[in-house]
Structure 1
Amino acid sequence: MRKRLIALILAVVVLACMPALVRQVERQLYPCKFPDIVHTYAAEYDLDHLLIYTFIRTESGFDPEAVSNMGARGLMQMTEETFDWLKTKLAPQEDLTFDDLYDPDCAVRFGAYYLRLCLDRYGGDVATAAAAYHSGWGTVDSLLNREDYAGDGRTLPSFPYSNMNHYVEKILRSYERYTELYGSSI
């Protein structure tokens, strides 16, 4: 009888601790690395810091040395063409090169700025901004000019290309998870 009581108490304790353990594991899967940098540029560009974490997680898995098969670099995976264009707007007097995107501060600065531009261009819609971040403004704009994808003229109601659709879904799921896990607590 005593062994059963001890086993029952242990089971209750384990079950009581389970939600906290699950939350800890989920926070490992959805980390908040480089918090000083992320919070700085979230404030500077009026972005939700959790959205920046979402893009970093999706783009590079928080690896500052990440390079995509398209040659995009850094935490927020920017191509050289996009970097050069953004540099003319954000840092024309600075002696920055494409290699500087391996520096987390530079990568988040440029990536967050570009994300802000995408959100502004597409009416604050995270899904359409994500599609533009991934596939470029030209692709999204051409879809908006098509009657079957026009929606309200500023946002896409659906994403016709499988890579784009997969990316947008991944961003939206990750952002939702970050919000559930952290809310405004970080």
Structure 2
Amino acid sequence: MCCFGVYFLSQTEWVQKDYLYPYPYRETVEHYADIYGVDSSLAAGVIQAESRFRADVQSHRGAVGLMQLMPDTAEWIAGQMGDQRYSVVNLSDPEVNIRYGIWYLAVLQKEFDGNDILALAAYNAGRGNVQSWMRLYGWRQDFSDVEKIPYAETREYVLRVLKYQKKYEDLYERSSTGVLTASIENR
């Protein structure tokens, strides 16, 4: 009975929003997602998978911030965006990290013709690896079989982000104006 109660409680919308799938920095995510043409739920899914919305996270490989950007990648992004104020210290700033990360996600989506699976795989494993897999395995831009991604870590990452994207879509619906609005909570 206890386990059923915990499960039931964890399925309530307010528990999911407050504890399992929170959405801090939501306005910033939505703002840059709108500017760069990225689904805000996808961006939220990436942030949830990368950092669980903790701005101060740094990986053992050196990735920084909410969207876990590598300093070299962020420096390249800043150059492409014409941002002369780039510094590694700025990557801990949620606004900068989200702006750079969503811009990069948009670039990857464009490179892979809007294919979220390939873009997410490239976000995790690198563009060069995904391009190599496409050549090696004959993948086309309509690739959809996540199970064929040769790196287990990347395969699991893509599946996790897509799951989180669906959760953020379900919990934070889009209104007809295109702005995300919280669905009515039954507390």
TM-score, structure 2 length as denominator? 0.82
Residues 1:61 and 2:52 are matched in the alignment: yes
1:89 alignment partner in structure 2: 80
Q: CA RMSD in A?
A: 2.0
Distance 1:153 1:179, change over 3 A: closer
1:9 alignment partner in structure 2: none
- Report the Cα offset of residue 67 of structure 1: 0.3
Larger Rg: 1
Contact 1:86 1:114 in 2 (8 A): yes
In 1, Cα distance between the equivalents of 2:45 and 2:116? 11
What amino acid is the match of 1:130? L
Larger CA deviation: 150-159 vs 24-33 = 150-159
Residues 1:152 and 2:140 are matched in the alignment: yes
- Report the Cα offset of residue 183 of structure 1: 2.4
In 1, Cα distance between the equivalents of 2:60 and 2:156? 17
1:36 to 22, 27, 32: 27
- Report the Cα offset of residue 52 of structure 1: 1.3
Residues 1:138 and 2:128 are matched in the alignment: yes
Consecutive aligned runs of 4 or more in structure 1 exceeding 6 Å deviation: 18-21
Percent of residue pairs identical: 29
Distance 1:140 1:21, change over 3 A: closer
Matches within 5 A, 1:80-119: 80-92=71-83, 94-119=84-109
Query: Which 5+ residue runs of structure 1 have no aligned equivalent?
Result: 1-17
- Report the Cα offset of residue 36 of structure 1: 2.1
Question: Could you list the per-position Cα deviations for residues 58-96 of structure 1 after superposition, in whole angstroms to 9, with x for gaps in the alignment?
Answer: 11111111101110001100001101111110134x222
Query: Which 5+ residue runs of structure 2 have no aligned equivalent?
Result: 1-7, 175-179, 182-187
In 1, Cα distance between the equivalents of 2:27 and 2:166? 22
What amino acid is the match of 1:81? D
- Report the Cα offset of residue 153 of structure 1: 4.6
What amino acid is the match of 1:68? S
Contact 2:149 2:155 in 1 (8 A): yes
Contact 1:41 1:112 in 2 (8 A): yes
Contact 1:144 1:154 in 2 (8 A): no
Larger RCO: 1 or 2 (CA < 8 Å, sep 6+): 2
In 1, Cα distance between the equivalents of 2:169 and 2:45? 10
What amino acid is the match of 1:48? D
Count of residue pairs the alignment pairs up: 167
Residues 1:129 and 2:119 are matched in the alignment: yes
TM-score, structure 1 length as denominator? 0.83
- Report the Cα offset of residue 152 of structure 1: 2.0
Larger CA deviation: 130-139 vs 152-161 = 152-161
